[in-house]
Chains A and B, each alone.
Chain A
Amino acid sequence: MEKILQVKDLELSFNTFGGEVKAIRGVNFDLYKGETLAIVGESGSGKSVTTKSIMRLLPESSAEFKNGEILFGGRDLTKLSDKEMQKIRGKDISMIFQDPMTSLNPTMPIGRQITEPLLKHQKISKSEARKVAIDLLRLVGMPKPELRMKQYPHQFSGGQRQRIVIAISLACNPQILIADEPTTALDVTIQAQILELMKDLQKKIDTSIIFITHDLGVVANVADRVAVMYGGKIVEIGTVDEIFYNPQHPYTWGLLSSMPSLDTEDAKLYAIPGTPPDLLDPPKGDAFALRSEYAMKIDMEMDPPFFKITDTHMAATWLLHPDAPQVEPPVSVIERMKKFPGSRYYEGSAN
Chain B
Amino acid sequence: MAEKLLEIKNLKQHFNVGKANEVKAVDGISFDIYKGETLGLVGESGCGKSTTGRSIIRLYDATDGEVLYEGENVHGKKSKKDLKKFNRKMQMIFQDPYASLNQRMKVMDIIAEGIDIHGLAKNSKEREQMVFSLLETVGLNKEHANRYPHEFSGGQRQRLGIARALAVDPDFIIADEPISALDVSIQAQVVNLLKDLQKEKGLTYLFIAHDLSMVKYISDRIAVMYFGRMVELAPAEDLYNNPMHPYTQSLLSAIPLPDPNYERNRVRKSYDPATHNYAEGEDVRMREITPGHFVDCSEREFEALKAGSLKV
- Could you tell me which A residues sit within 8 Å of B by CB distance? 42-43, 158, 187-192, 195-196, 214-221, 240-241, 244-245, 254-256, 258-262, 264, 268-273, 275-276, 339
- Could you tell me which B residues sit within 8 Å of A by CB distance? 44-45, 153-156, 183-189, 191-192, 195, 210, 212-214, 216-217, 240, 250-251, 253-263, 266, 268, 270-271
Do A42 and B186 touch (CB < 8 A)? yes
Report chain B residues within 8 Å CB of A187.
44-45, 210
In the assembled complex, the Cα of A217 lies from the Cα of B253 at a distance in Å of 13
Chain B residue at minimal CB-CB distance from A265: B217
Do B258 and A268 touch (CB < 8 A)? no
Do A217 and B210 touch (CB < 8 A)? no
Q: How far is the CB of A16 from chain B (nearest CB, A)?
A: 15
Do B185 and A217 touch (CB < 8 A)? no
Known A260-B214, A262-B213; judge A190-B44 contact (CB<8 A).
yes
Do B184 and A258 touch (CB < 8 A)? yes
Report chain A residues within 8 Å CB of B185.
42, 254-255, 258, 271-272
Report chain B residues within 8 Å CB of A241.
260
Chain B residue at minimal CB-CB distance from A216: B258
Partner of A188, one of B155, B210, B214, B271: B210
In the assembled complex, the Cα of A244 lies from the Cα of B183 at a distance in Å of 19
Report chain B residues within 8 Å CB of A256.
258
Do B216 and A262 touch (CB < 8 A)? yes
Do B256 and A215 touch (CB < 8 A)? yes
Report chain B residues within 8 Å CB of A272.
185, 188-189
Instruction: Please list 12 pairs of residues, one from A and one from B, whose beta carbons are closer than 8 Å in the complex, sorted by A's number.
Output: A43-B154, A158-B45, A188-B254, A188-B256, A217-B256, A217-B258, A220-B260, A255-B185, A258-B188, A261-B213, A269-B188, A271-B188
Do B44 and A260 touch (CB < 8 A)? no
Report chain B residues within 8 Å CB of A188.
44, 210, 212, 251, 254-256
In the assembled complex, the Cα of A256 lies from the Cα of B183 at a distance in Å of 13
Q: How far is the CB of B216 from chain A (nearest CB, A)?
A: 6
Do A214 and B183 touch (CB < 8 A)? yes
Do A217 and B255 touch (CB < 8 A)? yes
Do B259 and A244 touch (CB < 8 A)? yes
Report chain B residues within 8 Å CB of A218.
256
Q: How far is the CB of A42 from chain B (nearest CB, A)?
A: 4
In the assembled complex, the Cα of A254 lies from the Cα of B240 at a distance in Å of 25
Partner of A268, one of B192, B213, B214, B270: B192
Report chain B residues within 8 Å CB of A220.
256-260, 262-263
User: Top 7 closest A-B pairs, CB basis?
Assistant: A217-B256, A187-B44, A271-B188, A260-B217, A42-B183, A216-B258, A258-B188
Q: How far is the CB of A147 from chain B (nearest CB, A)?
A: 23
Partner of B261, one of A264, A273, A339: A339
Q: How far is the CB of B219 from chain A (nearest CB, A)?
A: 11
In the assembled complex, the Cα of A240 lies from the Cα of B186 at a distance in Å of 23
In the assembled complex, the Cα of A254 lies from the Cα of B185 at a distance in Å of 7
Report chain B residues within 8 Å CB of A270.
188
Report chain A residues within 8 Å CB of B262.
220
Known A187-B45, A187-B210, A221-B263; judge A271-B192 contact (CB<8 A).
yes
Report chain A residues within 8 Å CB of B213.
217, 259-262
**Which of B154, B155, B195, B217 has the most A CB atoms < 10 Å from its CB?**
B217
Do A275 and B240 touch (CB < 8 A)? no
Partner of A258, one of B44, B187, B260, B266: B187
Do B188 and A261 touch (CB < 8 A)? no
In the assembled complex, the Cα of A255 lies from the Cα of B185 at a distance in Å of 6
Do A271 and B189 touch (CB < 8 A)? yes
Do B44 and A261 touch (CB < 8 A)? no
**Which of A219, A244, A256, A258 has the most B CB atoms < 10 Å from its CB?**
A258
Q: How far is the CB of A332 from chain B (nearest CB, A)?
A: 10
